[in-house]
Amino acid sequence: MDQTSMSTAQLEALTYPEIVANTLDDQGLARRCPLDNGRHEGIPAFDLGDLDKLPLELLSKALVQIDLRSLTDLRRVNQRAMEVVDSIMQYQVIVAHAPNSLRGILAIGTGQWITCQKLYDQLCIADCDHCGAFGGYLYLVTCKRVCFFCFSQVPDYLPLPPSDALQRFGLDRRIPKSVPRFRSIPGCYTREETDIRTRLTLVDSACARQAGIALHGSVSAMEQHATDVASMRRLAYAAKRMLKAEGALIPTPHRPPPAKAYDGRETNPRRFLAIVRAPWLDLRTRSLEWGFHCLSCLYMDDPWQWTAKFTAETFHGHFEECGKKMEVGDCPMRRQYVGWLEYMGLL
């Protein structure tokens, strides 16, 4: 089929909009974190003191570079502060087109590491930060554009409990303050609808790993340190048990916790706790692209092809390639789908 001959109706017939993933934006963020933009009633109408001496354009350029937690705290000060923040172009775009990204950041508490400008810049990027495919989601711990496959498979997008990060990366007793962390929102996550009933404190694994490498000088030194610490704890426990058995007046030793197995599976709910769907703002056409999935990919042999997202511009070329790969084989559903495509004149 000629790439230019696909109508809007055909495009809709060949695609579907979303994967049911139960990410953070499916947890009632509008109720949990209302933004109340434009509602100035009941807020004291004071000025901003010395800040009001600056031209609004200069003030907006400064405010867009501060972290979102501070920006939203400023916005609550009084009516003038709310008006100034609401006038920032980047903030207006975020609230108008991707409010759940801002709500999610505020709800899980990662605003201190993310500026208004950084969030806006990510909305203006189409490609996944890891693989370069179209990224229909944002990872709100470090504010990165990401695709479904990468956030459900790549280790960098699996947040860790602080104790696991300390153990795996040989860090000291405390996670460095520079490592982003968050508190999850209770809810139903993953395609398997896993219930998370408590608020979990988690840290970004990629930043924690970099902190460990910086502390020890290299990956090998970091891993060796973690192994040595675990061995020393086991030896100390064994020595104390022996002394206790010999009648020494010492407290009963506590068995060191076993090394936790790394759970990197795609169904691990921690992968979904800081993920929201987000549109791509195409600055060239001033339009929004949410992306969509190809129905044909559901019948491909690649078990992960169905997660790929496309824009209207990239889908035409993809479908040409996808249609050529489509082989009837022995799958009744595939035979039925291919027959339907031929009947519609799409193959």
The pLDDT value recorded for residue 92 is 95
One-letter identity of residue 243: L
Q: Which residues pair with 277 in a beta bridge?
A: 137
pLDDT along the chain (347 residues), means of 10: 59 83 94 75 71 86 95 89 92 96 96 97 96 96 96 94 90 88 96 94 96 94 85 80 78 72 81 96 91 81 81 81 56 53 54
Assess contact for 68 and 104: CB atoms under 8 A: no
The pLDDT value recorded for residue 262 is 65
20: left (phi over 0), alpha (psi -120 to 50) or beta: beta
Kindly give, in sequence order, each residue whose CB lies less than 8 Å from that of residue 185, ignoring residues fewer than 6 positions away.
24, 27, 32, 107, 108, 199, 273
* Cα→Cα distances 118→101, 142, 281, Å: 12, 10, 14
Is pTM beyond 0.75? Reply is yes
Domain boundaries, the chain: 1-17+291-347, 21-214+264-290, 218-261
Q: What is the DSSP secondary-structure string of 90-118?
A: HHHHHHHH-HHHHHHHHHHT-GGG-BHHH
The pLDDT value recorded for residue 3 is 43
Q: For 97, phi and psi rounded to 5 degrees?
A: -115, -20
Q: Estimate the share of the chain in helix, then strand, then coil, as percent rounded to the nearest 5.
A: 50, 10, 40
How far, in Å, CA of 277 to CA of 290, rounded?
Answer: 8
The pLDDT value recorded for residue 252 is 78
